[in-house]
């Protein structure tokens, strides 16, 4: 379990002070599953780019045993955020790569550093496991703050390349098509 308080984004000096410094990042438990679903639905409900399937993706990854890491953010005994990591494959045969997402924060807690705390803790735990890298599809402006970059050597087909980003955690340069777990195709 990790406890987070006021944080400062070192990359760009942006102050991400939490209004409530009682933020706890911890692994999900079985009793959290319904709440995680609620948080995920609420987080994506009004996003035009969302197909409203993110909660189905989390369920599919969980059912398949593909949630390599599933973290919740809790404030004052309320789950306000969730982050999932699952294995990805790379055509060059690289191992130890993970997909970040979905990441969900309740609308009333967004832009307060909850997502940043989840990402930092998750990446830290992946590094401890010896992970080689992390890939995602998302907002380039947001994820660049966390060290993610576009890498023309790694390709995720069907997505504009500016929205597919990676964070290498090892020293090896990887190349090829990236495939996320089939749970990302879930629609129900």
What value, to the nearest 5°, has the Cα angle with vertex 178 and ends 128 and 60?
Answer: 75
The residue among 117 and 6 whose pLDDT is bigger is 117
Tens-digit pLDDT profile for residues 32-42: 999 999 999 99
Give the C-alpha separation, 134 to 83, whole Å: 13
Residue 11: pLDDT band with limits 50, 70, 90: very low
Residue 6: pLDDT band with limits 50, 70, 90: very low
CATH label, 2-185, candidates 3.40.50.300, 3.40.630.30, 2.60.40.1180, 3.30.1520.10? 3.40.630.30
Tens-digit pLDDT profile for residues 47-104: 877 788 999 999 999 999 999 999 999 999 999 999 999 999 999 999 999 999 999 9
Instruction: Annotate 36-81 with DSSP letters as a single string.
Output: HHHHHHHHHTT-TT--S-HHHHHHHHHHTT--SEEEEEEETTEEEE
Give the C-alpha separation, 70 to 20, whole Å: 22
Tens-digit pLDDT profile for residues 109-132: 999 999 999 999 999 999 999 999
| Long-range contacts of residues 154-157, Cβ cutoff 8 Å, at least 24 apart | 154/90, 154/178, 156/180
Q: Where are the domains of the chain?
A: 2-185
Nearest to 101 by CA among 171, 19, 13, 163: 163
pTM here is: 0.89
């Amino acid at each position: 379990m990790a406890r987070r308080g006021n944080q400062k984004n070192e990359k760009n000096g942006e102050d991400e002070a939490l209004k409530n410094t009682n933020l706890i990042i911890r692994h999900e438990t079985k009793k959290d599953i319904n709440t995680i679903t609620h948080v995920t639905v609420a987080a994506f409900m009004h996003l035009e780019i969302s197909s409203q399937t993110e909660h189905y993706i989390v369920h599919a990854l969980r059912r398949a045993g593909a949630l390599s890491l599933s973290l919740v953010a809790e404030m004052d005994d309320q789950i306000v955020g969730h982050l999932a990591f699952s294995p990805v494959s790379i055509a060059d045969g690289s191992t130890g790569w993970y997909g970040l997402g979905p990441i969900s924060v309740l609308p009333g807690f967004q832009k307060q550093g909850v997502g940043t705390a989840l990402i930092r803790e998750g990446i830290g735990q992946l590094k401890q496991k010896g992970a080689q890298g992390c890939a995602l599809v998302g907002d380039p402006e947001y994820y660049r703050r966390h060290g993610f970059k576009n890498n023309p050597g790694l390709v995720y087909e069907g997505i504009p390349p500016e929205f597919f980003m990676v964070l290498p955690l090892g020293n090896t340069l990887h190349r090829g098509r990236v495939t996320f777990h089939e749970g990302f195709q879930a629609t129900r």
